[in-house]
Structure 1
Amino acid sequence: MAALRQSAVSLQSNLPYASRSLRPLPSLNLSFSATIPSLKLPSSVRSRGGPRMSATVASSYASALADLAQSNNTLDTTIVDVEKVEKVFSDPDVLNFFASPIIDTEKKRQVLDEIVKSYALQPHVANFINILVDSQRIDTIIDIIKEFETVYNNLTNTELAVVSSVIKLQPDHLAQIAKQVQKLSGAKNVRIKNVIDPSLVAGFTIRYGNSGSKLIDMSIKTQLQEIASQLDLGDIQLAL
């Protein structure tokens, strides 16, 4: 798995605000192995209904994890772990490995043990992933993560803002964006996700609100399109 890289970018805003950001995740070391106890889920969640998980079942898994985190008073640290897990399983090679029916379950457990160790996941999060492996639901883990984030945001009055940029933004710049989104949305808390989109050329976009319905576009790509439209250059391909 390629290591995550973090690049610097300059913004004009200099608002004095700080927020938590995840550090780059470490590389996996296949020499580690550990035993992780099972986490119990309701029987209605454990039942299978086909090759793809329905939104209802994904929501049930997410709610079960959120309930456990609440009971352990670890909701805030669990969302951090969930963000780590999302980064790990967003790698197609990792997801395909765990979803493959021809790879021995014990081998999957060994690699999962190493992921747990490398990324310092809490035991209940590790247990949860083990259940998905055992029940052959691991291929839907990204759907479950999205549902969990929705549950977390509702429970904590948190606004999710997805910031798209050409390169990774620095934590202080993301903190400035978070503060502005908080003012605009009135939310108690703001979580920032920084995703890479090379097509923007430069600058960034911010999506927040219900299902990302609100957009703040500060990208060079949009500015170039507006200039082309004003100059009646819509049929001309810009060399970006």
Structure 2
Amino acid sequence: MSSIAAANRYAVALFDLAKEQNILDDISAELKVVKQVFQENDTLQKLLQHPKVSSDQKQQLIEESFTGLSVPMGNLLKLLLKKQRMDAITYIVDKFQELLEEERKVANAVVYTVKPLTSEEETMISTTFSKKLGKDTLHITNEIDPSIIGGMKIQIGDTIFDGSVKGQLNRLERELVPGKR
């Protein structure tokens, strides 16, 4: 079984438990800290995967590295350690955040423009596209991309709304030039 598939199952189980106990925000915050620790400390990951480090030593290392965690988070880390799946923690965090955003009807968008968006433009885009997607909130990250010439391109998850001049020119070229489809 792949690490990603296992990570998805762990994330869903943790999400369901956190939702049931009404501690979604707490678990989300703890997960972000745990992910940051693993990303910033390569040695920790190597020690937890090293075959010459005993299970008891690994357990102690986890307990010392992550004091003050909630019971569900502590149990998750212990389970991941026991099942030798500590490498899946980043995927678990990402999937949990995805589930949390879905639960709260929140989406994230990257808006590519030639010049920075004003706050009014961000609000208009957020309002318009959140309604189209059936979301309550749309968080926008504005990326400057001079290659689009004008207009904007919006990426929300795997979906791209291309209203850029470059996109329009490319579509026009495909229609006019044979063999360009």
Q: Give me the TM-score of the superposition, normalised by structure 1.
A: 0.48
Residue 134, structure 1, aligned to residue 82, structure 2: yes
**Structure 2 residue ranges without an equivalent (≥5):** 111-118, 142-153, 163-181
| Equivalent residues in 2 for 1:82-231, closer than 5 Å | 82-91=31-40, 92-117=42-67, 120-160=68-108, 180=123, 182-183=126-127, 185-186=129-130, 187-189=135-137, 209-211=156-158
1:21-46: per-residue Cα shift (whole Å, max 9, x none)? xxxxxxxxxxxxxxxxxxxxxxxxxx
Preserved contact between residue 185 and residue 209 of structure 1 (Cα < 8 Å): no
Higher helix share: 2
Bigger Rg, structure 1 or 2:
2
- Residue 86 of structure 1: SS of its match in structure 2? helix
- Residue 66 of structure 2: SS of its match in structure 1? helix
- Residue 159 of structure 1: SS of its match in structure 2? strand
- Higher RCO (CA-CA < 8 Å; seq separation 6+): 1
Which residue pairs with 2:14 in the alignment?
65
**Structure 1 residue ranges without an equivalent (≥5):** 1-48, 163-175, 194-206, 216-240
Shift of 1:64: 0.4
AA aligned to 2:64 is E
- Residue 129 of structure 1: SS of its match in structure 2? helix
Cα distance change, pair 138–209 in 1 and its aligned pair in 2 (3 A): same
CA distance in 1, matches of 2:136, 2:80: 32
- Residue 69 of structure 2: SS of its match in structure 1? coil
CA RMSD in angstroms, aligned pairs only? 3.1
AA aligned to 1:81 is E
Identity over aligned residues, as a percent?
22
